[in-house]
Amino acid sequence: MIRFTTAGESHGRALLAILEGVPAGLPLAAEDVGRDLARRMRGYGRGARMQIEADQAQLLSGVRAGETIGSPIALLIENRDWANWEDVMAPGAREDAPRRRLTRPRPGHADLAGALKYDRADARDVLERASARETAARVAAGAVCRRLLAVFGVEIGSHVVELGGVVARRAPLPSPLNDAADGSPVRCLVAQAEPAMIARIDAARDAGDTVGGVAEIVARGVVVGLGSHVAWDRRLDGRLAGALMSIPAVKGVEIGLGFGAAALPGSEAHDAIERAAQEGGHTTGGFSRRTNRAGGLEGGMTTGEPLILRAAMKPIATLMRPLDSVDLDTGRPAKAQSERSDVTAVPAMGVIAEAMTAIVLAGAYVEKFGGDAVAEMRRNFDGYLAQLRARQALWEPLG
Amino acid sequence: MIRFTTAGESHGRALLAILEGVPAGLPLAAEDVGRDLARRMRGYGRGARMQIEADQAQLLSGVRAGETIGSPIALLIENRDWANWEDVMAPGAREDAPRRRLTRPRPGHADLAGALKYDRADARDVLERASARETAARVAAGAVCRRLLAVFGVEIGSHVVELGGVVARRAPLPSPLNDAADGSPVRCLVAQAEPAMIARIDAARDAGDTVGGVAEIVARGVVVGLGSHVAWDRRLDGRLAGALMSIPAVKGVEIGLGFGAAALPGSEAHDAIERAAQEGGHTTGGFSRRTNRAGGLEGGMTTGEPLILRAAMKPIATLMRPLDSVDLDTGRPAKAQSERSDVTAVPAMGVIAEAMTAIVLAGAYVEKFGGDAVAEMRRNFDGYLAQLRARQALWEPLG
Amino acid sequence: MIRFTTAGESHGRALLAILEGVPAGLPLAAEDVGRDLARRMRGYGRGARMQIEADQAQLLSGVRAGETIGSPIALLIENRDWANWEDVMAPGAREDAPRRRLTRPRPGHADLAGALKYDRADARDVLERASARETAARVAAGAVCRRLLAVFGVEIGSHVVELGGVVARRAPLPSPLNDAADGSPVRCLVAQAEPAMIARIDAARDAGDTVGGVAEIVARGVVVGLGSHVAWDRRLDGRLAGALMSIPAVKGVEIGLGFGAAALPGSEAHDAIERAAQEGGHTTGGFSRRTNRAGGLEGGMTTGEPLILRAAMKPIATLMRPLDSVDLDTGRPAKAQSERSDVTAVPAMGVIAEAMTAIVLAGAYVEKFGGDAVAEMRRNFDGYLAQLRARQALWEPLG
Amino acid sequence: MIRFTTAGESHGRALLAILEGVPAGLPLAAEDVGRDLARRMRGYGRGARMQIEADQAQLLSGVRAGETIGSPIALLIENRDWANWEDVMAPGAREDAPRRRLTRPRPGHADLAGALKYDRADARDVLERASARETAARVAAGAVCRRLLAVFGVEIGSHVVELGGVVARRAPLPSPLNDAADGSPVRCLVAQAEPAMIARIDAARDAGDTVGGVAEIVARGVVVGLGSHVAWDRRLDGRLAGALMSIPAVKGVEIGLGFGAAALPGSEAHDAIERAAQEGGHTTGGFSRRTNRAGGLEGGMTTGEPLILRAAMKPIATLMRPLDSVDLDTGRPAKAQSERSDVTAVPAMGVIAEAMTAIVLAGAYVEKFGGDAVAEMRRNFDGYLAQLRARQALWEPLG
């Protein structure tokens, strides 16, 4: 079982993740994590903070001499801006400390609901944790899981398929996906769409506005039979959807054709089953599909086809031209307060969604294959592949 | 903490749910459960089985003299068809038992992935549990949770907003929603769309095909501050999405504007905060929203506005004119096997989604308000409402 | 991951267990479960109810044609006495239903704390679930886990080492342990102690009193390396202790020397490590121990030596000569109410403790070896044994 | 729900705890945590390391301006010795790094089982996490929970009742317990026993040996009705036993009379129920007990009487005069390797057990009373006390 927990405030000392259940013997370096942290910070439309950050993860535990040892992996990411915020965010009580209170909650953010729920007079106590900054810790944990998944031939990437209303889906997708996507400032694979997306971002910035979009996450090389149909909370589709919808500002999640499947007849919505060509089918049990409308998940289990997920992100809730709100202290109408913010974070959201996907998938591999050392887990995995092959050995040879 | 577990095969003896963590003192009758079970079985486009079933829930435990007593509530739904299937599905080993083996897996169903994962020669061992019949147990558990939520003024309904490609959203929605929706054979609120939807179902039936659609789930009266922004797996948006995506055949989930929010500028995607009119705002802390684009969830917490969720269902995977498949025994191309099935189950899916929503929400109420008896939980709830009001008492009176 | 949930009241319709996560392909018959249910009902000192019961488990789901299929296993045990209690315990509300109220709580039972916690006027609403009758469901689930463990060569037994103050430990223990223990009416292996124990029970019965005792649970053939030192809640010692202490009336749990270890110097409290003789050490990595004071657990992990656990049970709280109490309605002193009861249940408690041990161990095997079919799990297990042997291959041959 | 996770190696950079689910508005300072960390390090019989450490906790998150804000609380304790161990324990790969390998596993420690389970050539990869140093993180998290419990009038203390075979129970216990216990170098309340315990420690040190013992943990002011009888894993006795047995080197756990209860007749093993005197019974529902043999737990629930737990610790496994072992590389007999160690850690174990008790109890309070702010939780608690009083209002007045 893989578990992960994060802690840390946006302008606090540091962000933290503890990732637990990773087998021993996995090669791991701080740079493996740093690479994804850097990818999360890029993207056209980010504000000034992204320059400040230059996030680096420290491996506080669980890794020794370049290898995991089976114990919990603690990842710490210092907030470089801490010196400027220490007096505001320090844990210690100090009468004269400046608060930078936020009392005019931003529509679309956690400010209002959080202040009421936790009975806080200062919504900063909420927004500091609700900030998307927290996702740096998720990306750090996800980077470790990505490293584990690579042992089993899984590769996870993402690209932006819609930004500020500009739609740009492309098929077939290049492989590895991120080599191509990371080259674009908006992580978009369709060259013609890129300038239009950038123009939307620029226009939004000029208008003091923000934009949202949709990222598609693709996991290739996933073996057939992860997740399960036997219980609602063992289904991998539900677990993945829950993980993606938990990303701040995500309001929709799709698998495969997603909402599009609702409008198609059954005869056009499923994926005919075929026998795999001689050279393929190692991880699909010898089968292949004519299409992949299911996005690699049937009955809550992986089919062995690429996992295709999409997450829709609403525009960032902090606008430079703020929305109407109410002052918590007086009950009077007021403009929402502003925090420094980005115009869009859709490219970054794709990277975060990769991380969440990696964490869920790594958990599913650990569940199916067990094992406390990477070599043991890999041996169990190979045994499963052999079991799949044994079934095919009874078949007539391919003509 | 509310936990729920289900068991049972589609043609086995019975389906079962154990619901745990419901406080004592909740009035509950088998009819409360039966009502939702009946709603699940209705809907134009269902096959012959729906007549057979006439599901009834037996309260095996946890309820005494018409009231919950705090212990786990076990709900049993017998399969009326058991007599016809006993020899096929009996737990006991019997050499000459007929198997009704399924070896030609249906694309879009759990058959293939499940048979490979669990190493079964007969995919019936998989489909019997993967069948949507399992959702009867979810609906039974959900009916109990709905009863609990009613204590707090929460009302959950659903309606079909798309079926077989016919789109029919309507606003404003009637209240109670289900009184209106249950009157339609396709659970659609737009009178003009109903005949078109029915026509699509008829056409699909004639073609040996199936259709999917989208249901919208609405929860009204939900108090502000359920769920939390503090941890990824405490966010209510993620939990709801995970619960809905775990319903068989659901491939997409949206909250509020959902995917539509991705295309709007920030200035049009959020919900301006206002002060509630004198007579309102009891459960929203004295605030109201000009719109409800967020679907009642901000920062992973409820805002007090109605919860608006949508779930997209792909067409049923069992077609009377079967899709291409491969025989598991021989590896030869073959048409997928057929099980008796429906043309569409979108109206039923809405009812199932209500149940999952009820289960998640009931869990969130139990977490926030604690309490082991309904009266205690209600007292804690009232205290929270008073706390919200106390904040407003400091405000200037409304002009 | 193995999960198990129970439901049911002592005089309700039935007891239920749902056991989830058992791999497919495990041979299982209702008789496998019935055998342990019968063992739980025996034992000198049981009251009249034990004759009534004659518990039988029905396999409602998860088993087909004599084999598990991977889905949740639902086990139902009907209460034979239901006809006599239906009017008292029926779920439906009926004005004139007899209540058999309990308002004079029994010291030592859940009556008082439960009535206060759940705010019940009738403590029957508590005691019906708190009754040790619930453990029948545990034993049923445990019997399935025992069946799974047998695939890996694990054998679990128990015996009574103390009853009513008569102490009777014996070493070495016979194998299989239960063949010997089940032959004794008090499940005691020391022939001389048996009559003394029986005499104590008889004396207690004559005095309207009850007696407690201690059972020792032994699991042989457990492989090295289950559980883990890496997290407090992954340690197997903690999980086993939690499971045993959750048995009604158990007030103490020990592993290996237990409390005795506290009084010994380090030089006499640990188990020197040796190289296993040529023919042994398959499941211990080639090592053996001169002693087994640790009871098979070091650092929260199994060592491969037999697991030795002891659970202490206080005397049954329902005395025929009742203790002083207070009437819940009036606040007046009163003698505690009586329910039909046994003089001792220590022999049964050992059987229940075997079940809890089996459930925890089965979970640990599933975690370490993964796998969705028994053959897959066994293959992974064999791979681990080979890995242990490979290490020894580098050693110098035994002289 | 309260969750807690720890990370960190004994000679790594730092130890970490993340505690999640603590309500907002709890006053908290680093000194609150430091106090317990210091208490953990004291005790006659500790080795040189205790001087090195001088543990201090940094509050990395979840606390602002002296108060919790509802988000996860991350506690970091730096290892002061890190400079001396950096080259051995650094996460980065370095060819020439010294390993200080451990290949001769210590009987009684996790070394052997862990090296086999995780397939490590160097048992240091195991012992670094298995070391009792990890309990510093538990104590830090426990200190926060203790602070929360104080809001509800709960006070947790411990004392040593047996050390190196010297038994010293005392009753009645002083209150607050720790004011007295912390004054003794062996945390023993019986003045006459103290010199004997110290003499045993000295003798063991001279002999290169170690000693164990038993600590008793007492929680006063706990309200009636925490935990539950309705499910095996909701019972508080099981949860407490699991938490205590998960402490390194603990081999036995008792509640109330514990193993002693097994030898008594029922008439002498339970606690007669009485009506509380006018001035008492606030947290017990108006009842009191003539005795407290149950140790404050009946039916898996608190009775409102003091919680009495005992944990038995075996002697430390690292002896200066090492035990027989086998070299992992060669399979040859060898003396076990030594790490710097203490002669006894029983006084510290009591402090750790207090922390585990506090964590479990805080979780039980959060479950029963819900609430996201301390004031809300307290209001719910007060409502429960009023509910208990309302019941008594119907009673005849005390004579």
Which residue of chain C has the CA closest to A378?
A: C380
Q: Which of B79, B72, B77, B101 is nearest to B88 (CA)?
A: B101
Strand, helix or coil for residue A205: helix
Q: Residue D49: pLDDT above 80? A: no
- Are A181 and A168 in contact by the 8 Å Cβ rule? The answer is no
Query: Which among B114, B250, B298 is the nearest to A113, CB-wise?
Result: B298
Q: What local confidence, expressed as pLDDT, does residue A45 receive? A: 83
The mean pLDDT value for D221-245 works out to 98
CA distance D114 to C230: 10
What are the phi and psi torsion angles at D101 (to 5°)?
-60, 150
CA distance A19 to A9: 18
Enumerate the β-bridge partners of residue C175. none
Q: Residue written as tokens 């001769």?
A: D104
Min Cα distance B147 → chain A (Å) is: 22
Which residue of chain C has the CA closest to D114?
A: C225
DSSP state of B191: T
- Is A327 part of any domain? yes
| Out of A145-159, C157-171, D39-53, D146-160, least confident range | D39-53
Q: Which residues of chain A are within 8 Å of residue B262 when distances are taken between CB atoms?
A: 162, 212-214, 251-252, 312-314
Task: Tokens for A59, please give them.
Answer: 């491996």
Q: What local confidence, expressed as pLDDT, does residue C170 receive? A: 80
ipTM of the complex: 0.97
User: Which stretches of chain D sit within 8 Å of chain B by CB?
Assistant: 1, 20, 70-72, 225, 228, 230-231, 366-372, 375-376, 379-380, 383-384, 387
Q: What is the Cβ-side half-sphere exposure of residue C143, based on CA atoms within 13 angstroms?
A: 28
Residue D341: pLDDT band by 50, 70, 90 thresholds? confident
- Are A161 and A148 in contact by the 8 Å Cβ rule? The answer is no
Q: Which residues of chain B are within 8 Å of residue A113 when distances are taken between CB atoms?
A: 224-225, 298-299, 301-304
How much of chain A is helix, strand and coil, in % rounded to 5? Answer: 35, 20, 45
Question: CA quadruple B107, B110, B114, B120: dihedral positive or negative?
Answer: negative
Q: What is the Cβ-side half-sphere exposure of residue D317, based on CA atoms within 13 angstroms?
A: 28
Min Cα distance B43 → chain C (Å) is: 28
Q: Which amino acid is at B241?
A: A
User: Which stretches of chain B sit within 8 Å of chain D by CB?
Assistant: 1, 20, 70-72, 225, 228, 230-231, 366-372, 375-376, 379-380, 383-384, 387
Q: Which amino acid is at A178?
A: N
DSSP A230-245: SSTTT-HHHHHHHHHH
CA distance B144 to B149: 9
Min Cα distance D118 → chain A (Å) is: 5
- Are B347 and B43 in contact by the 8 Å Cβ rule? The answer is yes
Instruction: Provide the CA D110 distance to its chain's centre, in angstroms.
Output: 20
- Is A372 part of any domain? yes
Task: Tokens for A137, please give them.
Answer: 């810790």
Q: CA torsion angle for C312, C53, C82, C358 (degrees, to 10)?
A: 50
Please list the ranges in chain C whose pLDDT falls under 50. none
Q: Which amino acid is at A181?
A: A
**Interface probe, candidates D4, D16, D117, chain C, greatest C C-beta count within 10 A:** D117
- Is C128 part of any domain? yes
CA distance B16 to C61: 9
What are the phi and psi torsion angles at C297 (to 5°)?
-135, 120
DSSP A50-82: HHHH---EEEEESEETTEE-SS-EEEEEE-TTH
CA distance A206 to B262: 19
CA distance B117 to A391: 12
Min Cα distance A323 → chain C (Å) is: 47
Name residues whose C-beta falls within 8 Å of residue D218's C-beta, 6 or more positions apart in sequence. D156, D157, D158, D159, D173, D177, D306, D307, D308, D309
Task: Tokens for C202, please give them.
Answer: 């008889």
Interface partners of B (3+ CB pairs, < 8 Å)? A, C, D
CATH number, domain containing residue D254: 3.60.150.10
Question: CA quadruple A276, A278, A280, A285: dihedral positive or negative?
Answer: positive
Q: Which residues of chain B are within 8 Å of residue C99 when distances are taken between CB atoms?
A: 65
Q: Residue A121: pLDDT above 80? A: yes
Q: Over chain D, what is the mean pLDDT?
A: 95
Task: Tokens for B306, please give them.
Answer: 């109605």
- Is C144 part of any domain? yes
Min Cα distance A23 → chain B (Å) is: 22
CA distance A30 to A43: 22
Asked if D129 lies within 8 A of A71 by C-beta distance, the reply is yes
**Interface probe, candidates C63, C67, C69, C79, chain B, greatest B C-beta count within 10 A:** C69
Angle (CA) C331-C333-C335 rounded to 5° is 125
> Using H for helix, E for strand and C for coil, what is the string for chain D?
CCEEEEECCCCCCEEEEEEECCCECCECCHHHHHHHHHHHHCCCCCCCHHHHHCCCEEEEECEECCEECCCCEEEEEECCCHHHHHHHHCCCCCCCCCCCCCCCCCCCCCHHHHHHHCCCCCCHHHHHHHCHHHHHHHHHHHHHHHHHHHCCCCEEEEEEEEECCEECCCCCCCCCHHHHHCCCCCCCCCCCHHHHHHHHHHHHHHCCCCECEEEEEEEECCCCCCECCCCHHHCHHHHHHHHHHCCCCEEEEEECCHHHHHHCEHHHCCCCEEECCCCCCCCCCCEEECCCCCCCEECCEECCCCEEEEEEECCCCCCCCCCEEECCCCCCEEECCCCCCCCCCHHHHHHHHHHHHHHHHHHHHHHHHCCCEHHHHHHHHHHHHHHHHHHHCCCCCCC
Phi-psi map region of C47: left, alpha, beta (phi>0 left; psi -120 to 50 alpha): beta
DSSP C78-140: E-TTHHHHHHHH-SS--TT-------SPPTTSSHHHHHHHTT-S-THHHHHHHSGGGHHHHHH
CA distance B1 to D368: 10
Strand, helix or coil for residue B122: coil
Q: Which residues of chain A are within 8 Å of residue B257 when distances are taken between CB atoms?
A: 251, 314
- Are B22 and B372 in contact by the 8 Å Cβ rule? The answer is no
Q: Residue A340: pLDDT above 80? A: no
Min Cα distance D49 → chain A (Å) is: 20
Q: Which residues of chain B are within 8 Å of residue C12 when distances are taken between CB atoms?
A: 60-61
Q: CA torsion angle for C162, C164, C167, C173 (degrees, to 10)?
A: -30
CA distance B126 to C71: 8
Asked if B5 lies within 8 A of C8 by C-beta distance, the reply is no
Burial of B191 (0-12, 13-18, 19+ CB in 10 A): exposed
Would you call the peptide bond into B248 cis, given omega within 30 degrees of 0 as the criterion?
A: no
- Is C88 part of any domain? no
Q: Which amino acid is at B172?
A: P
Q: Which residues of chain B are within 8 Å of residue C376 when distances are taken between CB atoms?
A: 119
Asked if C118 lies within 8 A of B62 by C-beta distance, the reply is no
- Is D29 part of any domain? no
**Per-residue pLDDT tens digits for A200-225:** 999 999 999 999 999 999 999 999 99
Task: Tokens for D127, please give them.
Answer: 């012992």
- Is A29 part of any domain? no
Quote the domain boundaries for residue A285.
Answer: 102-394
- Is D361 part of any domain? yes
Q: What is the Cβ-side half-sphere exposure of residue D112, based on CA atoms within 13 angstroms?
A: 35
- Are C272 and C291 in contact by the 8 Å Cβ rule? The answer is yes
Burial of A172 (0-12, 13-18, 19+ CB in 10 A): exposed
Tally of structural domains, chain D: 1
Query: Which among D246, D314, D387 is the nearest to C238, CB-wise?
Result: D246
Q: Which of C200, A360, A63 is nearest to D266 (CA)?
A: C200
Query: Which among B1, B71, B376 is the nearest to D387, CB-wise?
Result: B376
Phi-psi map region of A171: left, alpha, beta (phi>0 left; psi -120 to 50 alpha): beta
Interface partners of C (3+ CB pairs, < 8 Å)? A, B, D
Q: Which amino acid is at D285?
A: G
Q: Residue D171: pLDDT above 80? A: no
Phi-psi map region of A368: left, alpha, beta (phi>0 left; psi -120 to 50 alpha): alpha
- Are C283 and C304 in contact by the 8 Å Cβ rule? The answer is yes
- Radius of gyration (C-alpha) of chain A in whole angstroms: 23
Q: Which of D11, D127, D150 is nearest to D79 (CA)?
A: D11
Which residue of chain A has the CA closest to D375?
A: A119
Strand intervals (E) in chain A: 3-7, 14-20, 57-61, 63-64, 67-68, 73-78, 155-163, 166-167, 213-220, 250-255, 273-275, 287-289, 297-298, 301-302, 307-313, 324-326, 333-335
DSSP state of A325: E
Please list the ranges in chain B whose pLDDT falls under 70. 48-53, 399
Asked if A116 lies within 8 A of B285 by C-beta distance, the reply is yes
Q: Which residues of chain A are within 8 Å of residue D67 when distances are taken between CB atoms?
A: 93
Interface partners of D (3+ CB pairs, < 8 Å)? A, B, C
Number of C/D CB contacts below 8 angstroms equals: 394
